[in-house]
Amino acid sequence: MTAASHDDLILEIANLSKSFGPVRALRGVGFQLRRGEIHALAGENGAGKSTLMNIIDGILRPDSGEIRLDGQPVTITSPAMAQTLGIGFVHQEIALCPDITVAENIFMAATNSSRALLMDFRGLERRAAEILRRLGDIDPAAPVRSLSISQQQLVEIAKALTLDCRVLILDEPTAALTEREAQILFEIMRTLAGQGISIIYISHRMVEIFDNCDRVTVLRDGQYIATMNVSETTTGEVVSAMVGRVIDSLYPPKLAEDERSGEIILDVRGLTDRQRYREVSFQLRKGEILGLAGLIGAGRTEIVKGICRLEGTVTGDVSLHGRVLHLAHYADSIAEGIVYLSEDRKGDGLFLDMSIAVNVSALSVEQVATRAGIIDDRRETEQAERLGGRLNLRYGHVGQPVSALSGGNQQKVAIAKMLSVSPKVIFLDEPTRGVDVGAKAEIHRILRDLARGGVGIVVISSELPELIGVCDRVLVVREGRIAGEVTDDEMTEDTIMYLASLGEQPPVAS
């Protein structure tokens, strides 16, 4: 392929640098975006992807470097200015106003610049409905607070779609979407590209990049590494460009036949919460990693939160190693060694303005304190450093606020927090959301090691390849009930999707 002529380029970035204090997030990065292309941006957690996009959107100012739009040098000073230049941005972290309606959120930007004095709610809802129809089933009049994370993500996307942009930036949009919603998004992306809109697509999922993008640019440690045509490269090549070494396998080996034991760690019987799930029973065996699959809204998260007593009024028995537990509060659950990794790390997983060390010890500060309840700073620091090291956390020092970490590294802090109490059973809700390939492989390996060490592991994931790759057994949840179980050879995306949407096994192909 020949180099693009300059007319082809809508956005050009040259020599861009940005530091946060001592952290050099970008070092002389270059990037070129053609008209009508879908251009993937790949790189490990903390490589500088979001920082680069934030600069393009005017949220951050570069220390040096140049941005050209349509060949003209521009200085973008605010997101509002980026918008008028035709740049739309769907952020990695959801930032909607929770108390107002979906429609109002979608048209926030438009309302902002409108001259009309009164809000035309009907009109807004009608127009919002039109856009949302393409994305899925969301009520434009519902307050955002009532939506699931994936629905909120769709609203973010809808918001960007209303802007009439020429450049659309999507920062890990699928991290919070189900397979099906993601497919809808990809269709929309292709349509937009067909209309000449350029899309920058950030994702840690190689499959998505290879299925949907034209080119891919790789960043590593704040530096530009390479731009490749997707049709002319391989996943392996992109991944090794990202991590600077070869990653052999994303998933650790599963339990061998003879390693399976009948020993039951956790036994859940007849778990019921009248509104959301009924009569849920399952067992978690020693050594295995159990997956929970299902469509968004099926009740997976609710069931798990119910077991931990995080929400709902729950009836039914939960026994750990054969002993029936009496849990009234999540604190009791933690004391028994049953912990839950939240799917919403920003909202309820982490204390963003507090330090890494303080976050890691939050589940049990008592652990890093003397018997009299005096916190020992040294032990707290050591604990964070030890767990951070185990998860390959990238950070300056454990006294940094978590908000200064990249998305994926924040997730590792959330996982470190779970591990800090040496749990017996861990429920992980989307454990690798927003985590890069290298770290993902690492988290999977850690989960496997924990399982081998006798810790019960239950994984909820909307990424089917992950469930299939990691789990020894998958339960499919549908409308608040367990619709079926798949193991070994049955564990395919088809079988799981079939069970999740229809509640039955697919007919055996002849």
Ligand X SMILES: Nc1ncnc2c1ncn2[C@@H]1O[C@H](COP(=O)(O)OP(=O)(O)OP(=O)(O)O)[C@@H](O)[C@H]1O
Residues that bind Mg ion (CB under 5 A): 50, 92, 407
- Give the nearer residue to another protein in terms of CB position, either 236 or 347: 347
Residue among 56 and 157 whose Cβ is closer to ligand X: 56
- Work out how close the CB of 351 gets to ligand X at its nearest, in angstroms, rounded to a whole number: 16
Of 181, 219, 185, 158, residue with least CA distance to 406: 219
User: Rounded to whole angstroms, how far apart are CA atoms 326 and 69?
Assistant: 62
- Residue 423, contacted partner among ligand X, Mg ion, another protein, none, CB below 5-8 A by kind: none
- Number of C-alpha atoms within 13 angstroms, CB side, residue 192? 31
d(CA 395, CA 405): 7
Cα–Cα distance list, 271 to 167, 221, 245, 312, 456 (Å): 48, 47, 46, 11, 18
Which option in ligand X, another protein, Mg ion, none does residue 97 bind, with CB closer than 5 to 8 A by kind?
Answer: none
Q: Is 232 in the site for another protein (CB under 8 A)?
A: no
Q: Which of Mg ion, ligand X, another protein, none has residue 349 at its interface (CB below 5 to 8 Å by kind)?
A: another protein
Q: Which residue of 114, 146, 191, 403 would you call a contact of another protein, by CB under 8 A?
A: 403
Cβ nearer to ligand X, comparing 91 with 276: 91
Task: Based on the shown chain and the rule CB under 8 A, indicate whether residue 97 belongs to the binding site for another protein.
Answer: no
> Which pair of structure tokens corresponds to residue 5?
């002529």
Contact string (CB under 8 A) for another protein, positions 349-388, x = contact: xxxxxxxxxx---xxxxx--x---xxx-xx--x-------
Task: Using CB under 8 A, pick the residue from 187, 397, 487, 494 that binds another protein.
Answer: 397
Cα–Cα dist 442/457, whole Å: 15
Helix (H) or strand (E) run with residue 281 in it: strand 277-285
Contacting residue, 270, 347, 389, 454, with another protein by CB under 8 A: 347
Binding mask 289-328 for another protein (x = CB under 8 A): ---------------------x------------------
Q: Which is nearer to another protein, 207 or 362 (CB)?
A: 362
> What's the closest the beta carbon of residue 90 comes to Mg ion, in angstroms?
12
Q: Which is nearer to Mg ion, 32 or 50 (CB)?
A: 50
Neighbour tally for 505: CB within 10 Å: 14
The one-character DSSP state at 463 is -
Distance, in Å, from the CA atom of 270 to the CA atom of 281, rounded to the nearest integer, reads 5
Exposure letters 139-166 (e unless 16+ CB within 10 A, then b): bbeeebeebbbbbbbbbbbbbbbbbebb
Q: How far is CA 166 from its chain centroid?
A: 26
Is 174 a residue that touches another protein (CB under 8 A)? no
How many angstroms separate the CA atoms of 15 and 58, rounded?
Answer: 17
Interface with another protein by CB under 8 A: which residues?
Answer: 310, 329-331, 333-334, 340, 342, 347-358, 362-366, 369, 373-375, 377-378, 381, 396-397, 399-404, 417
